[in-house]
Amino acid sequence: MSPKFYCQKIFDKNGNLTAVEILTRNYPVNEKTDLYLFTKLLKKIGNGDISFSVPVHVNIFPSTLPLIDWESVSLLLRKKRVVVEIIEDGVFFYRHYISYLIENGISFALDDFGNGSANFLLLKEIPFPIVKVDASIVPPKVAEAVKTEFDIPVLIAEKCSDLSYPADRFQSFKFHEPEEI
């Protein structure tokens, strides 16, 4: 079975498209299949099968980081404006690795902040340019503190039900259902 890829749009408060996140359906996503899916997706982006005029977010597990040949994919990631989203579980163990990659031009987003083990110490140690908060769990005052106290350039609210949440961008099934690409 071949994986199917879907995109979910990310908007600003005015409804302008700012990015898309590529999701996988009908295929088991776990630490064993993660590298295969990441590689397959990068090939599709590289050859133009998947193309957007905005940055493209792609998820990986933290444990997959050391398995990727970053030197061979870094130019593609920068040229095609790919943002590597990393789920917060296990990020702390790879914090030095992620910081090194960010310093060398790889764009990262911390995904699902507030949904697992991430804490403010992690935000102090890793200069994430993008943090995605789970608006169904993280109170608005905490989101504001994350944005201002850690000088996060872009805060994306996930699972948000309205645009009054204090975020720069929004991603939610309420605003946009993922569509197959």
What is the total count of domains within the chain?
A: 1
* Partner residues linked to 156 by β-bridges: 132, 169
Residue in the block written with tokens 């397959």: 40
* pLDDT tens digits, one per residue of 22-33: 999 889 888 889
Residues of the domain holding 164: 4-180
- CA-nearest of 105, 37, 45 to 67 is 37
pLDDT exceeding 90 applies to what percent of the chain? 75
pTM of structure: 0.92
CB atoms within 10 A of CB 147: 18
CATH code assigned at 18: 3.20.20.450
Supply the mean pLDDT for the chain.
92
* pLDDT tens digits, one per residue of 158-177: 998 888 999 999 999 888 88
* pLDDT tens digits, one per residue of 83-141: 999 988 888 899 999 999 999 999 999 998 887 665 788 888 898 999 999 998 999 99
Predicted confidence at residue 120, as pLDDT, reads: 82
Helices of type H across the chain: 34-46, 70-79, 95-103, 120-125, 140-149
